[in-house]
Amino acid sequence: MDFTVGRDGFGRCFAELSMGQEAFGRWLADELGEDAGQLQRILDAIGQLRDRRIGEFALDGRTFRLELDRDEARVRAHCLENETLDVDGEDLDFYDDELEAGCGLDDFVDVLFAWQELITG
Mean pLDDT of 79-101: 62
Sign for the CA dihedral angle at 44, 50, 54, 56 comes to: positive
Q: What is the four-CA torsion angle of 38, 44, 47, 49, rounded to 10 degrees? A: -70
Q: Is the pLDDT of residue 70 over 80?
A: yes
Count structural domains, the chain. Answer: 1
In whole angstroms, what is the distance from residue 27 CA to residue 104 CA?
16
Contact (CB, 8 A) for 73 and 66: yes
Sign for the CA dihedral angle at 45, 46, 52, 56 comes to: positive
- Which residue range(s) make up the domain with 37? 3-120
Residue 7, pLDDT score: 97
**Which of the two residues, 97 and 24, has the higher pLDDT score?**
24
pLDDT confidence of 97, banded at 50, 70, 90?
A: low
Residue 36, pLDDT score: 97
- CA neighbor of 24 nearest in space, from 116, 78, 101: 101
Contact (CB, 8 A) for 27 and 61: yes
Q: Residues 74-89: pLDDT tens digits?
A: 999 998 876 554 444 4
Q: Residues 5-64: pLDDT tens digits?
A: 999 999 999 999 999 999 999 999 999 999 999 999 999 999 999 999 999 999 999 999
Q: Residues 103-116: pLDDT tens digits?
A: 999 999 999 999 99
Q: What is the four-CA torsion angle of 66, 79, 6, 111, rounded to 10 degrees? A: 20
Report DSSP letters for 62-93, one per residue: SSEEEEEESSEEEEEEGGGGS-EEEETTEEEE
